[in-house]
Chains A and B, each alone.
Chain A
């Protein structure tokens, strides 16, 4: 698809340990248009984080992209030289991490950490970066930003740290923001504020967002489109409202009925049917057998 900010096609990632090869992503394809918010849903181990890691070039040891491409604004991240990719990260592609408690450097003051990104990626000088850091904190609704820049991460709450990480992610007007379950580590009351903040910033800057989550409720509220992943394969893809209202794939339907809802009794919850999981895994194995060459 032309014009897409991110265009992933036929992406295969495999873990190589000596002679054994473990497929992690089995030909994933997804595209995000400028300004689009796309949910990426799936249970643990489905490969959501692997996609994010592949984009950032931070696959775990032994894992690598064995086939396919991940085009960012028409340039293939998978084939890109390391320095070129590094220039994009932080500036054009940013991440909102999962755990705000550990994602800030514990011995650096907040202001210094925000200013570092601005200096290295935004091209500001030391002084301008420091001033801009204060403005950015104010933009993510942190009270007394002048004082907060002087604090260390452990002196702030989880919600405040996540705001700071969001400020850092949006600091250089990125085209693509990957939000990796940005609210899972937070209090429910703080979650809404954080989501609102991401939505506002995304809207204002026109950035595309890949929203990684396993919370279908968030997808319904926040995303225009959604990609459902299972065992490293895309099982369903489409407009969020349509997919959630009338899932075409049995797995999406099962996932929906496994989600607790206020308007349905608790005993309406059903775990994923065993036969469905077995079918899906058998499909994955059949795919691996037919495409063994894709993982080398």
Chain B
């Protein structure tokens, strides 16, 4: 009897094999982060400086453009490129802080509800049901209006509305994982339920959570733009993409680029987060990673 069990012949490749989507998304997000971080260095003008002799200039590569203003100027003669660059700062702060907080709160509640069931699950599940019966954007607008405008209230509005997304998904994933044999095996080895949750279950939902978190960052960027658009975000003297969209909307027939450029920024940013999320799922999951 051959009593030696052989390991698979071809050694599995070690190290992270990056998914192309993760690379593409990562590059976009890296550029965004650098832009936000280095805004004072990158922006050719002060985003608030008005040049009333050069209002509504088209981008410099279009007829009538001024090389000093690459993407042109708005109706007050402010440099669009500089405003877009500074707008990235608000987008990045909101995306990182709001999504992380929503993720933290939602995941903890979802983990506890899904793993311990019982009363905790009843409370969390009913809370989610009630929460989800409100239209989310309306809820954040009402919240931001009630707390008052400002960066803090935008973040709060996003966290308060979107924790349910994490709680829901994490809870159902934990419900699924706790049925699996490896969880029973861990209990049989004599691990405390909390140890089982932390050591065995959490690592299994991390790839999914990383994806959810990056997607949520994209959503946070959109919500921030919406709140800026309706004037409930930071004060109007801080450039935001949403605010620029609102300003451009009134002049859509004369200067369409005023509207198109900030919208483009939002789209590329959200796309970047989503690509990164998709790619991360494939990269982090050892079963999918081959």
User: Which residues of A come within 8 Å of B, CB atoms?
Assistant: 56, 58, 85-91, 94-95, 97, 99, 102-108, 116-117, 120-121, 141-144, 147-148, 150-152, 154-157, 159-160, 163, 165, 168, 192-193, 196
Q: When the two chains form the complex, which single residue of A99, A105, A152, A163 contacts B200, counting CB atoms closer than 8 Å?
A: A105
Name A117's closest neighbour in chain B (CB-CB). Answer: B189
Q: When the two chains form the complex, which single residue of A58, A106, A121 contacts B187, counting CB atoms closer than 8 Å?
A: A58
Of B195, B206, B207, B287, chain A has the most CB atoms within 10 Å of the CB of B287
Enumerate chain B residues within 8 angstroms of A157, measured Cβ to Cβ: 5, 8
Chain B contact residue count (CB 8 A cutoff): 33
Name A148's closest neighbour in chain B (CB-CB). Answer: B7
Q: Once bound together, how far apart are the Cα atoms of A156 and B184, in whole Å?
A: 21
Q: Are B181 and A99 interface neighbours, CB within 8 A?
A: yes
Enumerate chain A residues within 8 angstroms of B191, measured Cβ to Cβ: 86, 90, 120
Q: When the two chains form the complex, which single residue of B188, B204, B207 contacts A89, counting CB atoms closer than 8 Å?
A: B188
Q: Once bound together, how far apart are the Cα atoms of A85 and B7, in whole Å?
A: 36
Q: Are A151 and B190 interface neighbours, CB within 8 A?
A: no
Enumerate chain A residues within 8 angstroms of B285, measured Cβ to Cβ: 107
Q: Smallest distance from the beta carbon of A190 to chain B beta carbons, Å?
A: 8
8 intermolecular pairs with C-beta atoms under 8 Å apart: A56-B187, A86-B190, A86-B192, A106-B182, A106-B287, A120-B190, A120-B191, A150-B14
Q: Are A107 and B189 interface neighbours, CB within 8 A?
A: no
Q: Are A152 and B286 interface neighbours, CB within 8 A?
A: yes
Enumerate chain B residues within 8 angstroms of A144, measured Cβ to Cβ: 7
Q: Are B204 and A143 interface neighbours, CB within 8 A?
A: no
Q: Once bound together, how far apart are the Cα atoms of A106 and B288, in whole Å?
A: 11
Q: Are A106 and B5 interface neighbours, CB within 8 A?
A: no
Enumerate chain B residues within 8 angstroms of A156, measured Cβ to Cβ: 7-8
Enumerate chain A residues within 8 angstroms of B180, measured Cβ to Cβ: 102
Q: When the two chains form the complex, which single residue of A56, A105, A107, A147 contacts B188, counting CB atoms closer than 8 Å?
A: A56
Name A95's closest neighbour in chain B (CB-CB). Answer: B188
Q: Once bound together, how far apart are the Cα atoms of A94 and B11, in whole Å?
A: 32
Q: Once bound together, how far apart are the Cα atoms of A150 and B8, in whole Å?
A: 12
Tell me whether B4 is interfacial, beta carbon within 8 Å: yes
Of A87, A106, A156, chain B has the most CB atoms within 10 Å of the CB of A106
Q: Smallest distance from the beta carbon of B260 to chain A beta carbons, Å?
A: 44
Tell me whether B203 is interfacial, beta carbon within 8 Å: yes
Enumerate chain A residues within 8 angstroms of B11, measured Cβ to Cβ: 147
Which applies to chain B's interface (DSSP): helix, strand, loop or mixed?
A: loop
Q: Smallest distance from the beta carbon of A199 to chain B beta carbons, Å?
A: 12
Q: When the two chains form the complex, which single residue of B1, B5, B182, B184 contacts A159, counting CB atoms closer than 8 Å?
A: B5
Q: Are B188 and A108 interface neighbours, CB within 8 A?
A: no
Q: Are A89 and B190 interface neighbours, CB within 8 A?
A: yes
Q: Smallest distance from the beta carbon of A115 to chain B beta carbons, Å?
A: 12
Q: When the two chains form the complex, which single residue of A58, A107, A141 contacts B184, counting CB atoms closer than 8 Å?
A: A58
Q: Smallest distance from the beta carbon of A194 to chain B beta carbons, Å?
A: 10
Q: When the two chains form the complex, which single residue of A89, A155, A159 contacts B8, counting CB atoms closer than 8 Å?
A: A155
Known: A108-B203, A141-B5, A144-B7. A121 touches B189 (CB 8 A): yes
Q: Are A89 and B189 interface neighbours, CB within 8 A?
A: yes
Of A120, A121, A156, A157, chain B has the most CB atoms within 10 Å of the CB of A120
Q: Are A152 and B189 interface neighbours, CB within 8 A?
A: no
Tell me the residues in window 261-290 of chain B with beta carbons closer than 8 Å to chain A beta carbons.
Answer: 285-287
Tell me whether B252 is interfacial, beta carbon within 8 Å: no
Q: Smallest distance from the beta carbon of A15 to chain B beta carbons, Å?
A: 18
**13 further contact pairs, Cβ within 8 A, besides A90-B188, A107-B204, A165-B185:** A97-B185, A103-B185, A105-B204, A106-B286, A108-B203, A120-B191, A141-B3, A144-B7, A147-B7, A151-B12, A152-B286, A160-B7, A196-B1
Tell me whether B199 is interfacial, beta carbon within 8 Å: yes
Tell me whether B64 is interfacial, beta carbon within 8 Å: no
Enumerate chain B residues within 8 angstroms of A116, measured Cβ to Cβ: 189, 199
Q: Are B181 and A90 interface neighbours, CB within 8 A?
A: no
Q: Once bound together, how far apart are the Cα atoms of A121 and B286, in whole Å?
A: 27
Q: Smallest distance from the beta carbon of A276 to chain B beta carbons, Å?
A: 34
Q: Smallest distance from the beta carbon of B3 to chain A beta carbons, Å?
A: 5
Enumerate chain B residues within 8 angstroms of A155, measured Cβ to Cβ: 8, 12
Name B204's closest neighbour in chain A (CB-CB). Answer: A107
Tell me whether B186 is interfacial, beta carbon within 8 Å: yes
Enumerate chain A residues within 8 angstroms of B135, measured Cβ to Cβ: none
